[in-house]
Structure formats: structure tokens, C-alpha cells
Amino acid sequence: MNGYLPRIIIADKSNLFREGLKSLIETKKMGEVVDMASDYEVLTDIIRNGCFFEIVIIDTALPGGSGIELHEFLTKNKKNAAILFVSDNDDFEAVMKYRKIDVKGYLSKNGYVEQLSDAILQLSQGHDYYQPQLVPKLNSVLLKSKQDNKLLLELTRRELEVLKSVASGMMNREIAMQLKISERTVKNHIASIFKKIKVSDRTQAAIFAIRNNLIQIH
């Protein structure tokens, strides 16, 4: 990386990882590490005290706060900073959550030096960076999510209620009693729901509801 070096904060629970990453970034001239933090409280104090930086590299398991909380704090307090989340494990569901809230960068700690360098370069130029191996699956899921959103908009309020009940495992009679409507009306709603969300049975409807966070699985 030539020319101007972006100013970076490293936030990770491991002393060895922080020091090792700092040495790597500065030796390879990827950026200038201006501060480091071992937990959420230290990181937020650094930011509140006015430290100037452009990128913060954050361990997704940073003690004291979740990745989403860190993203919300940084978005509120340092709107122009880019966030690169790094993780010990490739939890795709977690990655999807970060993508949906517009986190700009993600890299596994099992990634390569070249990927880290590329991530810092892309983020410093205002672009997003997600580990290349994840991109095809991410794009596929995000496309599916957009398609689902269009289908959800076609459902009436009552149909959404019925769909949630179906996904929760309730039978037609139970749904009818809960919503104070006839079983025949429930059947009609279900037929309409299946057609609108393009499924053919209750199991597929339940999967659709879970995928779109209409119900929570405990």
C-alpha cells in the first residue's frame, strides 16, 4: 500500500494478536496503528477521547459488547470510520447479521495477509470488503432476502398473523379459536399465503417465516 497510510485502531482480547497484527500492519506498510484496546470499555473510551482514526479492526468476541453494539456505537460516534470485524470462527449467520446492518468489512482470522491488506485498502477508499470465500453465499442469501421482502409485502395483516401461527405449529382449529374466525376462513387464508409466498406446504411456510424472522426459535 503506497502513499497515505490510514490510521487504525486494533481492538482484540488477545495481547499477542493485537501486538502481532500491529507489527504486521506497520511492517507491511498497510497503515498506522494509532491505538489498541482489549475490551469494549477501553475502545469506547479511546473514541470518546477524540482519537483520530479511519479504520477500526474489531474482534467479534471483544469482551464487554456484541459486534452489533460496537457497530451502533461507532456509527453514532464516529460516522466516517470503517469497521473491519475479524473472527476466530466463520459463523455465517453472524456474518449475515453484520451485512444486514451495513457493516463494511469482515475477515476471518484464518485469512491471508494479502486479504488483510486488501481489506484495509478497500475500506480506506470507502468500499466494502468481505472475505472472498463468503461473497457468493452472501450474495445468494441477500438476493433471496430481497425476493422474500417483495413476497411479504403482498401479505395482508391477517395473513401475516395466520402465517406466524402456522409456523408456530398451530393447527387450523387452534388458529381459528385464537383469531376468532372460522376454520374455513383459516383454510382460505392459508391457501392465499401459500400462493403469495410460493410454497406448497406448512413446513415450507414455517421455514419462510423463520428465515424472515417472523417467529423466533428458542
Domain ranges of the chain: 7-138, 154-211
More confident residue, 217 or 200: 200
- How much is the pLDDT for 31? 96
Burial class of residue 199, CB neighbours in 10 A (0-12, 13-18, 19+): middle
More confident residue, 103 or 40: 40
State which CATH number among 3.40.50.720, 1.10.3720.10, 1.10.10.10, 3.30.450.40 fits the domain covering 154-211: 1.10.10.10
- How much is the pLDDT for 135? 64
Max avg pLDDT among 35-44, 73-82, 96-105, 204-213: 35-44
- How much is the pLDDT for 217? 56
Contact 74, 47 (CB under 8 A): yes
- How much is the pLDDT for 194? 95
pTM metric for this prediction: 0.64
- How much is the pLDDT for 76? 84
pLDDT confidence bin for 121, thresholds 50/70/90: very high
Do the bridges between strand 55-59 and strand 32-37 make them parallel or antiparallel, or are there none, so unpaired? unpaired
Given a cut of 80, whether residue 67 has pLDDT beyond it is no
More confident residue, 136 or 68: 68
Given a cut of 80, whether residue 110 has pLDDT beyond it is yes
- How is domain 7-138 classified at the architecture level of CATH? 3-Layer(aba) Sandwich (3.40)
Give me the mean pLDDT over the 102-123 stretch.
90
Contact 187, 171 (CB under 8 A): no
